[in-house]
Amino acid sequence: MQDELKRYPEARLVDLYKFFFQGAFGPGHLINDANAASRFLQIELQQAEQFSALDWHAVGYDALFYRINLRLVHDGAIPFRDYLEAFLQSAATFDEPEPEAWRKEWYTIVKIISEMPLQMNGFRADSSWLEQQIEAGHLVVHHSEIFEERYHPHYRIIDRDHIEQLFQRFLKSGQNRYKEE
């Protein structure tokens, strides 16, 4: 989490929630229709004006999943079809979250965060809002407005195995301009 706050110092609690949720459950909560996923990805690529500085980084505490910047597709480093396929296959391998188990895990995370010497804007308001969302069964949230404005998060969540395959095929020798940190 310290690395996440170094990457994104203006992140709010809702952004950390998203970081841990994605790390635990990957992209499975996003995919109901592969064709729709492809269309949304194409639209986002066409509309994105800026991209985050990072090309990829792990989410959560187990590093099972990574945020992979759409810039890698936009710039032609990874072909659209291969990126999409890795995303869809990553989503297909993981189950939906069990709300009660996730609630307990998140409250443990919040307790740890609240004991850290952080100056996080909107902590109490975000904590209260997230508690309401979780209790209502709405586990998936969006990034905060400030996160969107400052960091331009255009990415998809892909599991470690599929990332390694993409990197071996497309980002090996001579492409070291792409970076994790």
Contact yes or no for 13/127 (Cβ under 8 A): yes
Cα dihedral sign, 137-154-124-4: positive
Three-state DSSP at 141 gives coil
Instruction: Give the predicted TM-score (pTM) of the model.
Output: 0.90
pLDDT tens, N- to C-terminus, the chain (181 residues): 788 999 999 999 999 999 999 999 888 665 778 899 999 999 999 999 999 988 999 999 888 999 999 999 999 999 999 999 999 999 887 777 788 899 999 999 999 999 998 889 999 999 999 999 999 989 999 999 999 999 999 999 999 999 999 999 998 744 444 455 5
pLDDT at 175: 46
pLDDT at 29: 61
Angle among Cα 75, 81, 83 to the nearest 5 degrees reads 65
